A and B are shown apart, each in its own frame.
Chain A
Amino acid sequence: MNKVFVVAVKEFKDGLRNRWVAGITVVLALFAMAISYFGAAASGMVGFTSLSTTIVSLSSLAIFLIPLIALILAYDSIVGEEEQGTLILLLTYPLKRSELLAGKFAGHAAMMALSTLLGFGSAGILIAVFSEQVDLGELLVAYSMFIATSILLGWVFIALAYLVSVMSQEKSRASGVALLIWFAFVFVFDLLLLGLLVATGGAVGDDLFGWLLLLNPTDIFRLINLGGFEATQIQSGLASIADKQMIQPLVLWSSLLAWIVIPCLIAAWRFNKRVV
Chain B
Amino acid sequence: MSVEAIHFEHVVMNFGKVQALNDISLQIGQGQVVGLLGHNGAGKTTSIKIILGILRPTFGTVRVFGYDPANDVKMAALRKQMGYLPENLSFYPQLSGRETLQYFARLKGAGRQEQEQLLDEVGLLHAADRRVKTYSKGMRQRLGLAQAMLNQPKLLILDEPTVGLDPVATRDLYDKIERLKQQGTTIILCSHVLSGIEEHLDRALILSAGKILAQGSIDELRNQAQLPMTIHVRGKISNQDWLDKLSSQGVSTQRINSHQYILSAAVDRKLSLLQALAVENEIEDIEINLPTLESIYIHYNTQSLAGSDEPCKQGGNAR
Chain A contacts to B: CB under 8 angstroms: 1, 3, 6-7, 10, 14, 17-18, 84-86, 88-96, 275-276
Chain B residues with CB under 8 Å of A86's CB are 89-92
Across the interface, A92 reaches (CB within 8 A) one of B15, B54, B87, B91, namely B54
A36 to B46, CA, bound (A): 57
Of A17, A88, A90, which contacts B107 at CB under 8 A? A90
Contact A17 B94 (CB under 8 A): yes
Chain B proximity of A166: nearest CB distance (Å) = 15
Q: Which of A18, A85, A95 contacts B86 (CB 8 A)?
A: A85
A85 to B76, CA, bound (A): 21
Nearest to B76 among chain A residues (CB) is: A94
A88 to B88, CA, bound (A): 11
Q: Is the CB of A93 within 8 A of B94?
A: no
Chain A proximity of B199: nearest CB distance (Å): 28
CA distance A123 to B136 in the complex (A): 45
Q: Which residues of A contact B80 (CB under 8 A)?
A: 94
Q: Which residue of A lies closest to B108 (CB)?
A: A93
Interface residue B59 (Cβ < 8 Å from any Cβ of A): no
Whether the Cβ atoms of A92 and B79 lie closer than 8 Å is yes
Is B82 close to A, CB under 8 A? yes
The answer to whether residues A94 and B106 also contact, given A84-B92, A86-B89 and a CB cut-off of 8 A, is no
Instruction: Judge if B309 is at the interface, Cβ distance under 8 Å.
Output: no
Which residue of chain B has the shortest Cβ distance to A10 in the bound complex? B103
Given contacts A84-B92, A85-B88, 6 further A-B contacts (CB under 8 A): A1-B106, A6-B103, A14-B95, A84-B89, A94-B107, A275-B15
Q: Which of B55, B107, B147 is close to A3, meaning CB atoms less than 8 Å apart?
A: B107
Q: Which residues of B contact A92 (CB under 8 A)?
A: 52-54, 79, 82, 84
Q: Check A85 against B54 for contact (C-beta < 8 Å).
A: no
Residue pairs across A and B with Cβ atoms less than 8 A apart, 5 shown, are A86-B89, A88-B54, A92-B52, A94-B75, A276-B54
Which residues of B are found within 8 Å of A10, using beta-carbon distances? 103
Q: What CA separation (Å) do A91 and B82 show in the bound complex?
A: 12
List residues 11-26 of chain B with CB under 8 A from any CB of chain A: 15
Bound complex: CA of A93 vs CA of B106, how far in Å? 10
Taking the complex as formed, is B104 at the interface, i.e. its CB lies under 8 A from any CB of chain A?
yes
B54 touching A91, Cβ below 8 Å: yes
Q: Does B66 contact A (CB under 8 A)?
A: no
Instruction: Write out the residue numbers on chain B whose beta carbons fall within 8 Å of the beta carbon of A84.
Output: 89-92
Cα separation A14 to B95 with both chains bound (whole Å): 8
Q: A96 with B107: in contact, given A85-B88, A86-B89, A275-B55 (CB under 8 Å)?
A: no
**B:65-114 near A, CB below 8 Å:** 72, 75-77, 79-80, 82, 84, 86-92, 94-95, 103-104, 106-109
State which of A1, A93, A276 has its C-beta within 8 Å of the C-beta of B79. A93
A18 near B108 with CB under 8 A, answer no
**B88 contacts across to A, CB distance below 8 A:** 85
In the assembled complex, the Cα of A89 lies from the Cα of B88 at a distance in Å of: 11
**Are B108 and A94 within 8 A (Cβ)?**
yes
Nearest neighbor of A96 in chain B, beta-carbon distance: B72
